Amino acid sequence: MSTIISAAIIIAVLILITWLFIVIHKNNQEKKAAGLRVQFNELAFKNNLVITDTEIMHNQLFGIDELYSKMLVVKTTGKNRYRHRIVFLDDVIACTLQKNTRAVYEKGNTEKITEVIVEQVSLLFEYTDKRKPFELVFYKNDTDYIFELPQLQTKAENWREHISKKIKKQLRNIA
């Protein structure tokens, strides 16, 4: 009888500890997201941006200002440290979906591919002038989970379509 009670107490303690870690992790995630939103809103205000669509993913938040054709991207680089970039969509000629993959070969046979691993999914903004393209990363295999890949790839494709429509509209107005 005492063995069953001891086992039940141990299981209850393990469940409680696991639940506690999950709650703490979720709380930390919410704090990071809140800090990111505050920084994002401050930067949008300082730069007179009216953000209509936003997306938050892990350590970054970005949004588009349709009125002024700008995109604000804010990333966390550490505790209470942020880096931002404003992409002027008027200067962008193309927005393409980049999917970097790596082949895994059969052991001892460099000709037979056993698996293809997606290393990164991102949007690449190419400018009308010769500036270095800007890359907005949606998925990175060393920081994101593989089960998130389909969802993040779909988000990247939706944003590519949204931004490409904006770019094409601007190019038509110029022509």
Across the beta sheet with 70-78, what order do the strands follow?
53-57, 60-65, 70-78, 81-88
Q: Give the residue extent of every domain in the chain.
A: 2-174
pLDDT of 27 reads 77
Residues 106-124: tens digit of each pLDDT: 777 777 778 888 899 999 9
**What is the model's pLDDT at position 123?**
96
Which position has the token pair 């550490």? 78
Query: What is the pLDDT averaged over residues 122-149?
Result: 92
> 96-102 — which CB contacts under 8 Å span 24+ positions?
96/123, 96/124, 96/126, 96/160, 97/121, 97/122, 97/123, 97/124, 97/156, 97/157, 97/160, 98/122, 98/123, 98/124, 98/135, 99/153
